[in-house]
Amino acid sequence: MRRGGDADVYEVFARFGDDPQEPIRWLGSVRSGDPELAWHAAKEIYTRREDCTLLWVAQRAAMVLSEPSDAEALRSPSRLSYRVPAFPGRHRRARMKAAALAAAEASS
């Protein structure tokens, strides 16, 4: 993981159309010494032909980026074992314990 460089470069992201489920897409970059000017430049450059409903401009230097060495950590399913459906969550463990107690009481 590393920080982005170039303090005067801003990355531009936008959503087009009225559907809030539409993904936000990366459109490109603009150079500017000021965040507001970068936003206006992005609006003029990238939203001329389509109806833009959301426009984000983020300074590249403020972004945290993954590197090739992060690939294994990003794709490894074993690192998040609690996300598999069979993982016993707190509520499931409580139900299992209650069922075991009920079965023990019923057998005695």
Q: Which residues contact 17 (CB under 8 A, 6 or more apart)?
A: 51, 53
pLDDT (0 to 100) of residue 50: 82
Q: Domain spans of the chain?
A: 2-103
Domain 2-103 class, CATH top level: alpha beta
Q: Which residue numbers in the chain have pLDDT < 50?
A: none
pTM of the model: 0.62
pLDDT (0 to 100) of residue 96: 80
- Supply the mean pLDDT for the chain: 83
Tell me, what amino acid is at 26?
W
How far apart are the C-alpha atoms of 83 and 75, rounded to whole Å?
14
Query: Angle 37-38-40 (CA atoms, 0-180°, nearest 5)?
Result: 65
pLDDT (0 to 100) of residue 36: 95
Instruction: Give the model confidence (pLDDT) of 28-45 as tens digits.
Output: 999 998 999 999 999 999
pLDDT (0 to 100) of residue 37: 95
pLDDT (0 to 100) of residue 106: 86
- Can you tell me whether residue 30 is helix, strand or coil? strand
